[in-house]
Amino acid sequence: MAQPIRIFDTTLRDGEQAPGCSMDINEKLEVARQLERLRVDVIEAGFAISSPGDFESVKRIASEIKDCAVASLARTSIKDIDAAYEAVKAASSPLIHTFISTSPVHMYHKLKMTPEQVLEKVAVMVAYASKKCPEVEFSAEDATRSEWDFLVKVFEAAIDNGATVINVPDTVGYTTPEEYARLISYLKTNIRNIDKAIISVHCHNDLGMAVANSLAAVGADATQVECTVNGIGERAGNAALEELVMALNTRRDYFKTSCRVDTTQIYRASKLVYSIIGTPAPINKPIVGANAFAHESGIHQHGVLAEPTTYEIMSPESIGLPKSRLVLGKHSGRHAFADRVRELGYELSEEDLNKYFEEFKKLCDRKKDVNDNDIEAIITNSISKIGGFYRLHSFDIHISGSATNSCVIRLEKAGEILEDVALGDGPIDAAYNAIDKMAHAPEHSLEDYSIRSVSEGKDALGEVIVKIKSGNKITTGRGLSTNIIESSILAYLNGLNKILERRVSGGEAGNIRYDST
């Protein structure tokens, strides 16, 4: 069997920078912990120079995570590389990931640099990064639209100057499996010093081929693949981790290699990321969609009952799909609750367990049966709860089908109770108008509002997800209650608190993507 494939996860960098996917520091830490349980090899935790908030979260992740390398992105500039190193240096295995564009269209129009200048910059900046950090990855952005001979020169310069990984990104999702495999083989044959570095691939999904392209590259001896949980990322996203890993595992016979990922953590990782970004999994999403292991047709059901492998190429257990859906209630004790939480794949501290048990008990007073979805909703909603500049104290609402609706809201802010009233087209509009009168949040607009029932029955928990736009960032707020007006208010406050938190921690300042060097 060939050497195992290194899984480089960039959910917290390339994934998180996509519109609607931004996460706050608590959410990023929670995702990083789950990536560690998943046993990815590298966590790209962010782009340290892009904002003080990003810097802080990369630093926190680097100091907490022990079993994965932790990387920060950096352009080929001293300031970027210094910030990246400062952020990752506490990691047990720190990595600086530096990049510059190499395609004619990017060099000419975006960088306004000649190929010679780019080559020089790669040599100088990779040397600078590798003096600081033992592991340096160099990416040739837009590699698949670059001239192959130029790529050879650039990668040779990077390796000569200390790069330990060279990455060949399909930045705009342009390549095809066969072409990409040829490019990887070409680089492997023609880069003089390739024995000193590993080849990594990084594919975007614009034409729906990110996973196929990555796997074709593995067939051509690339030994690192970059991916994100659920395939989140710029535009159509990145190669999906769960698809890559399950393809490598299921077709080990074909790829003759695998990876060290614990696949039984996949389902939980996927759920966590979907719940943080406030988007449900498409039902037909490979591996993690609700229908991925469902068999509707009689013929298929009959086959699976007789022998699961008739229609299942992988088992639901292999991705950690919970087997039973147990119901708890007000007579269930802390023990039963703790057991169920563990079975659902959560490893919680005593403190968190106590906190969630309290919420579970409160829920049992309002709801007869509490099932796995309810428990997971309690946990994921708490992860998204930010300290809170404004907390809901109480509210009174007047709802009318024919006249204007009104809402009185009382908020708690640093021990003080604020109260205001507002009118609105509907009760939620009225509530949000009242909040806006009191909360001093930066200019914002509500971009999306969705509500879903977490479980069955009239007493089900209602989860509201809002998307609030402030500046050029979209923030997700979530709220959970058996009263849907309350969930709506909590979701809006959660979103506004996150926006305020980001402003206070300086997370707003930069927002650099990769448009210049």
435/375 Cα distance (integer angstroms): 29
Which residues are registered as beta bridge partners of 466? 449, 477
Nearer to ligand KIV, 59 or 202 (CB): 202
Nearer to Zn ion, 44 or 374 (CB): 44
Residue 47 touches which of ligand KIV, Zn ion, none (Cβ within 5-8 Å per kind): none
Nearer to ligand KIV, 216 or 383 (CB): 216
Q: Where are the beta strands (DSSP E) in 425-472?
A: 445-453, 462-470
Nearer to Zn ion, 176 or 382 (CB): 176
Tell me the closest approach of the beta carbon of residue 398 to ligand KIV, in angstroms: 51
- Residue 423: in which H helix or E strand, if any? strand 416-424
DSSP for 164-232, written as a single string: SEEEEEETTS---HHHHHHHHHHHHHH-TTGGGSEEEEEEB-TTS-HHHHHHHHHHTT--EEEEBGGG-
DSSP for 79-108, written as a single string: HHHHHHHHHHTTSSSEEEEEEEE-SHHIII
Residue 57 touches which of Zn ion, ligand KIV, none (Cβ within 5-8 Å per kind): none
Residue 213 touches which of Zn ion, ligand KIV, none (Cβ within 5-8 Å per kind): none
Tell me the closest approach of the beta carbon of residue 272 to ligand KIV, in angstroms: 22
- Composition of the chain by helix, strand, coil, percent to 5: 45, 20, 35
Burial class (CB in 10 A: 0-12, 13-18, 19+), 287: buried
Tell me the closest approach of the beta carbon of residue 18 to ligand KIV, in angstroms: 11
Token reading at 147: 């001239």
Tell me the closest approach of the beta carbon of residue 59 to Zn ion, in angstroms: 22
Q: Which of 482, 486, 491 lies closest to 464, judged by CA?
A: 491
Tell me the closest approach of the beta carbon of residue 496 to ligand KIV, in angstroms: 31
Cβ atoms within 10 Å of 429's Cβ, excluding its own: 17
101/146 Cα distance (integer angstroms): 9
Nearer to Zn ion, 202 or 498 (CB): 202
Token reading at 388: 């809170």
Helix (H, G, I), strand (E, B) or coil at 286: coil
Nearer to ligand KIV, 143 or 430 (CB): 143
Nearer to ligand KIV, 44 or 501 (CB): 44
Token reading at 430: 């009225």
Nearer to Zn ion, 14 or 242 (CB): 14
Write b or e for each residue in 110-146: b if 16 or more Cβ atoms lie within 10 A of its Cβ, otherwise e: bbebebeebbebbbebbbbbbebbebbbbbbbbbbbb
Tell me the closest approach of the beta carbon of residue 367 to ligand KIV, in angstroms: 44
Tell me the closest approach of the beta carbon of residue 13 to ligand KIV, in angstroms: 8
Q: Are 328 and 340 in contact (CB under 8 A)?
A: yes
Tell me the closest approach of the beta carbon of residue 164 to Zn ion, in angstroms: 20
Nearer to Zn ion, 95 or 484 (CB): 95
Tell me the closest approach of the beta carbon of residue 73 to ligand KIV, in angstroms: 6
Closest residue to Zn ion, Cβ-based?
14
Residue 141 touches which of Zn ion, ligand KIV, none (Cβ within 5-8 Å per kind): ligand KIV
Tell me the closest approach of the beta carbon of residue 199 to ligand KIV, in angstroms: 14
Nearer to Zn ion, 14 or 374 (CB): 14
Site string for Zn ion, 3-32 (x = CB under 5 A): -----------x------------------
Is 44 one of the binding residues for Zn ion (CB under 5 A)? no
Residue 128 touches which of Zn ion, ligand KIV, none (Cβ within 5-8 Å per kind): none
Q: Residue count at the site for Zn ion (CB under 5 A)?
A: 1
Residue 380 touches which of ligand KIV, Zn ion, none (Cβ within 5-8 Å per kind): none
Q: Which residues bind ligand KIV (CB under 6 A)?
A: 14, 99, 139, 141, 167, 169, 171, 202, 204, 514
Q: Are 53 and 28 in contact (CB under 8 A)?
A: no
Nearer to Zn ion, 14 or 372 (CB): 14
- Residue 302: in which H helix or E strand, if any? helix 298-306
- Tell me which amino acid residue 42 is: V
Residue 514 touches which of Zn ion, ligand KIV, none (Cβ within 5-8 Å per kind): ligand KIV
Site string for Zn ion, 316-335 (x = CB under 5 A): --------------------
Tell me the closest approach of the beta carbon of residue 269 to ligand KIV, in angstroms: 20
DSSP for 55-85, written as a single string: HHHHHHHHHH--SSEEEEEEESSHHHHHHHH
Contact positions with Zn ion (CB under 5 A) in 212-231 = none
Residue 135 touches which of ligand KIV, Zn ion, none (Cβ within 5-8 Å per kind): none
Instruction: Work out whether strand 473-481 and strand 462-470 pair parallel, antiparallel, or are unpaired.
Output: antiparallel
Residue 139 touches which of Zn ion, ligand KIV, none (Cβ within 5-8 Å per kind): ligand KIV
Nearer to ligand KIV, 90 or 113 (CB): 113
Tell me the closest approach of the beta carbon of residue 513 to ligand KIV, in angstroms: 9
Please report, for residues 31, 128, 186, 286, 343, the alpha-carbon distance to residue 270 in angstroms, rounded to integers and kept in the order given.
10, 37, 35, 11, 16
* Helices first, then strands: H and E counts in the chain: 17, 14
Residue ranges that bind Zn ion, judged by CB under 5 A: 14
